[in-house]
Chains A and B, each alone.
Chain A
Amino acid sequence: KAGVTQTPRYLIKTRGQQVTLSCSPISGHRSVSWYQQTPGQGLQFLFEYFSETQRNKGNFPGRFSGRQFSNSRSEMNVSTLELGDSALYLCASSLGSGEDGSPLHFGNGTRLTVT
């Protein structure tokens, strides 16, 4: 079974631009979560989608948004990029939700650098 696939692996953007990151979950997984990883803040939860609906959202500004398609693939978008948005963005998929103890399966991430 193929794992979680994130594209692209690396991105360099300029302040003020916007960016879209893509994630394909493991086949059969309907839940997709996004995390931001930085050296200073560690792993922080962005949002979770299940069957095209956002079920949970972390404490990030509205510049960060996401969506999920009917095939469970997900995208996240960051608008008006700031230097502080430079991070590794990790996507994870699971069969269920955190409430039932379903583990997350992570992709290798997209490393975003904002200059």
Chain B
Amino acid sequence: AQSVTQLGSHVSVSEGALVLLRCNYSSSVPPYLFWYVQYPNQGLQLLLKYTTGATLVKGINGFEAEFKKSETSFHLTKPSAHMSDAAEYFCAVSGAGRRALTFGSGTRLQVQP
């Protein structure tokens, strides 16, 4: 069975600082991995996805994620946080015969001025 673990339910950074949101997955075969962002009172918006190929995936709004098979990780980073990045971020996995996305519990990012 697939599962996703997001370390840290809340992360706080200063504006301009590095953003690092952690995601580890468990899957018996290479999965499809996604990061979504949710702003208050809205649905989820796709930030980026990993399927196969390059291990560094670039997404929207300056975010990127690195797929590390040896560590079963797919951490999300952004070099410089902006106030508008404050939101909740979800890591998700699918594939390997499982059609539905399995989401992590989410990480709420707070950006301090």
Please determine whether A101 and B43 come into contact, CB atoms closer than 8 angstroms: no
Please judge, given known A-B contacts A98-B100, A103-B49, whether A42 and B34 are in contact too, CB under 8 Å.
no
Cβ of B100 and Cβ of A48 under 8 Å apart? yes
Number of interface residues of A (CB under 8 A): 23
B57-98 interface code vs A (CB 8 A; 1 in, 0 out) = 000000000000000000000000000000000100011011
Q: A33 in the interface, Cβ–Cβ < 8 Å?
A: yes
**What residues on A are CB-neighbors of B105 within 8 Å?**
42
Known: A99-B95, A101-B32, A101-B95. A45 touches B101 (CB 8 A): yes
Question: Which residues of B line the A interface, CB within 8 A?
Answer: 32, 34, 36, 41-46, 49, 51, 90, 94-95, 97-106
- Cβ-closest 3 pairs across A and B: A98-B94, A106-B43, A101-B32
Q: A-side interface residues toward B, CB under 8 Å? A: 4, 6, 33, 42-43, 45, 48, 55-56, 58, 90, 92, 97-99, 101, 103-109
